[in-house]
Amino acid sequence: MSVEQDIKILLVDDRKEDILSLEVILSTPNYKFEKATSGRDALRILLKEQDFAIILIDVQMPMLDGLETAQLIRESEKLRHIPIIFLTANIDRPNNVFKGYQAGAVDFMIKPVVPEIIKAKVAVFAELYRKSQELLAQKQSLSTLNMELEKRSEELIRSNKDLEKFAYVASHDMQEPLRTIISYIELIQRKINDDAQDVEKYMDFVVGASYRMRDLINGLLEYSRADREEKPFTQVNCNDVVKEVLANLNTSISENKAVVQAGTLPQITASYMQIQQLFQNLVSNAIKFKGNKEPQVSIAYKKIEGYHLFSIADNGIGIEQEYKERIFEIFKRLHPIGEYMGVGIGLAICKKIVERHKGKIWVESVPEKGSTFYFTISEAV
């Protein structure tokens, strides 16, 4: 990638006519000249601009001469890399030449300069500058690439860990109903001619465990699909979503004598199916974990900067502080099987859905008083 870029050259001479003649000699379309008529003037310019490819400086100037100016330039961290060519009429004073090299001169030219020679010298430095700029740009794009790669590999490590954990928990949790099924089937085999009553009881366990296994597998499938739904996002009216959710949960609402109220909800850009699933999981949990009171559930909404913020509050059993984050992990349940139905996938799915909508989900809760689940959905999904 070679873009023809401007080469900035600083010309420093107290004699304007000398500057002009240098400009004429060096005139090339991509050379851009800055001119200073004293050492001070040159330093003032260098305070503002540091991207010069080369400085051509007259040695004999009143006040701050070329050598002193060069010394000051060399003392500055930002400027010391800029090559300097001294222009002098004074070749017969070798002492001057020596002092010039100490001050950091790259080269000397005797006035009046030979146009061909100065042109060639400047061209070499211009090329050097171009090359170093190219290297710098390459270094920058390499380090951006490196950062990108590092980020990717961190993501990969994380997703690998998630996958490992997922596989472990999935196989671990599915062992449990499978063990129940196997042991009762074995008991049934032994009892089949003996005691019909026991057989019936064992069959119930087998059927129960099989349903549990089916729920686990379905839950797992849903979970793995939650961030992969192909359908594009559409305009979703959340009032309609909640109406549908309440209709779906009608039986559970009336069986538990639950009261669910919802404020006015917005229209958002989202996946209709997933937003419905999100509300359904949260409202059904709010009813399920009711403790000994009749469930009171309220759904509310607030617009915050860049996000829609929803909340689902209940007056149920609540959640201990230490579990507030872990309940969003897959298969995390806080109660023994049988006390509350469920396989512990609902909230993990909620989390995936919310993250797919560039939002967050969290809970605030007081044990035995109730919980409020909050989630945000980004306006810019």
Given the rule CB under 6 A, which residues bind ligand ADP? 281, 285-286, 289, 314, 316-319, 327, 332-335, 342-348, 371
- Least distance CB 260 / ligand ADP (angstroms): 13
- C-beta separation of 330 from 292 below 8 A: no
Closer CB to ligand ADP, residue 76 or residue 311? 311
Closer CB to ligand ADP, residue 170 or residue 348? 348
Q: Whose CA is closest to 83, among 139, 124, 143?
A: 124
- Least distance CB 253 / ligand ADP (angstroms): 15
What number of helices (H) and strands (E) belong to the chain?
10, 12
Q: Whose CA is closest to 67, among 101, 104, 19, 100?
A: 100
Closer CB to ligand ADP, residue 12 or residue 312? 312
Question: Which residue is associated with the tokens 């090329």?
Answer: 127
Any idea what DSSP says for residue 257?
T
- Least distance CB 379 / ligand ADP (angstroms): 27
Residue 197 burial (CB count, 10 A): 9
Any idea what DSSP says for residue 44?
H
Residue 298 burial (CB count, 10 A): 16
In which element (H, E) is residue 270 found?
A: strand 267-270
Phi, psi of 335 (to 5 degrees): -130, 155
Q: Whose CA is closest to 270, among 187, 157, 167, 375?
A: 375
- Least distance CB 362 / ligand ADP (angstroms): 12
Closer CB to ligand ADP, residue 278 or residue 348? 348
Closer CB to ligand ADP, residue 16 or residue 326? 326
- Least distance CB 378 / ligand ADP (angstroms): 23
Give me the residue whose beta carbon is nearest to ligand ADP.
342
- Least distance CB 223 / ligand ADP (angstroms): 10
The SS3 assignment for 275 reads helix
Closer CB to ligand ADP, residue 4 or residue 339? 339
Closer CB to ligand ADP, residue 14 or residue 314? 314
- Least distance CB 254 / ligand ADP (angstroms): 19
- Least distance CB 297 / ligand ADP (angstroms): 9
Closer CB to ligand ADP, residue 10 or residue 348? 348
- Work out the angle between the directed axes of helices 39-48 and 66-75 (0-180°, nearest 10): 20
In which element (H, E) is residue 253 found?
A: helix 250-255
DSSP3 helix / strand / coil % (the chain, rounded to 5):
50, 20, 30
Closer CB to ligand ADP, residue 303 or residue 335? 335
- Least distance CB 291 / ligand ADP (angstroms): 9
CA distances from 334 to 13, 285, 353, 375, 380 (A): 83, 13, 22, 21, 35
What residue ranges in 39-97 does DSSP mark as E strands? 54-58, 84-88
Count of CA atoms in the C-beta half-sphere (13 A) of 115: 8
